[in-house]
Structure formats: structure tokens, C-alpha cells
Amino acid sequence: MERSLRLHLPPWLHEWLDVIVPLAQVAVILLLAWLLQWLLRRLLTRLGTRYQLPDAVIKPARNLLRWLIYVVAALMALERLGVSSDVLWTGITGFVTVGAVAFFAAWSVLSNLFCALLIFTTRPFREDDVIELIDTGDKPGLKGRVTDIRLIYTILEDHDPAHPGALLQVPNTLFFQKALRRWRGGVEVRAMTTG
């Protein structure tokens, strides 16, 4: 195609073809990407109306498709501008891998920090309270007196006779995953039975 253009264009424009043709191709790619996402957005809106799907389903699907189309269009445009698709793919997968590993590594720390914030604001227990984490049903779990509430973990003084005075460092997320039994101020309150 470029050869036939060179035959019909003046010689001074030949050197500009190496710039004009890729830019025109990029413009066509971006225009087609915009048109495709517009059509898919309308299609999803009609499907949502026809089948009475909630907006909570339609909006994320539209956003996902839009971003997917734009990323593919950007990759195609960069390839037309001379960037190797292998280099792009290697860079993107490397970046995504590092991001996923970093997110996974920081996830437990972040969740413990968030749970510490919840402990400080909702106050399910306080220092000097005796608490017990119940595994399932009435099965006893960790039990001890709260000596300190920190950002990552809470320190309990163990109430197990086999380990007198031992300190337990319990991750803060555990308090929101299991049932919690609490005695205020370290005094175990026995439930009264009626007979």
C-alpha cells in the first residue's frame, strides 16, 4: 500500500509517509476502540433494561469492557508506532506480577492495621478485660487477659494453667473471624441459671 502511495504522491511527501501512515493507523485503531466500547456500552445497557439487571452488575461490566478495549487498543497503537509487542508483554506481566506479590505480602499487615482501627473505634474489648476466642460453637479457644492492644496484634496474658504468665500475641484480624466471649475488667461473670 505504501508503494502505491509513493507512486501517486509528490517526492517531497515520500519521507513523511513513514510518519503519516503509522499515525493514521493509530487514529483508526483509537476510533475503532471508542466505537466498539460505545456499542458494547449500549448493548449492556439494553440487556440490563431488558432482563432487569441491577446497576451494580451493569456498571462494573461496562467499566471492565471499556478498560479492556482501551488497553488492547493502546497496545496495538504502540505496536504500530514501533514498540515490540514482546517487550510490552514482558513489561506488563512483570509489572503485574510485582504488584500482585507486593499486594499479597502486604495484605495481612494491612488487614491487621484495619482491624486495629476497628478495635479502637468499636471497642469489642478493652485492656484488662478477659476474653476468649471461641473456635466453633462452644469449643474453647484462646483465653486471656488483654494487656495491650497494638496495631498488628493484641497481647493476652494466657489463662491456661499449663502456661502461667505466658503472653499470647494474637493477630487483630482473628477477633473479627471468630466468636468472642468477654468479661469486663478481668472478672469472669458466670451466667445465672434459673431452676
pLDDT digits (tens, 9 = 90+) for 103-141: 887 888 889 888 988 898 888 999 999 998 887 766 667
Instruction: Give the contacts of 78 (CB within 8 A, at least 6 positions apart).
Output: 88
Query: How far, in Å, CA of 23 to CA of 36, rounded?
Result: 20
Model confidence pLDDT, tens digit, residues 63-107: 999 999 998 999 899 888 888 878 878 888 898 899 888 888 788
164 SS3 class = coil
Return the C-alpha cell found at 65: 469492557
pTM of the model: 0.48
- Residue 189: band (very low, low, confident or very high) from pLDDT cuts 50, 70, 90: very low
Under 8 Å between Cβ of 90 and 146: no
Instruction: Give the contacts of 34 (CB within 8 A, at least 6 positions apart).
Output: none
Res. 191: pLDDT tops 60? no
* Residue tagged 441491577 (cell numbers): 54
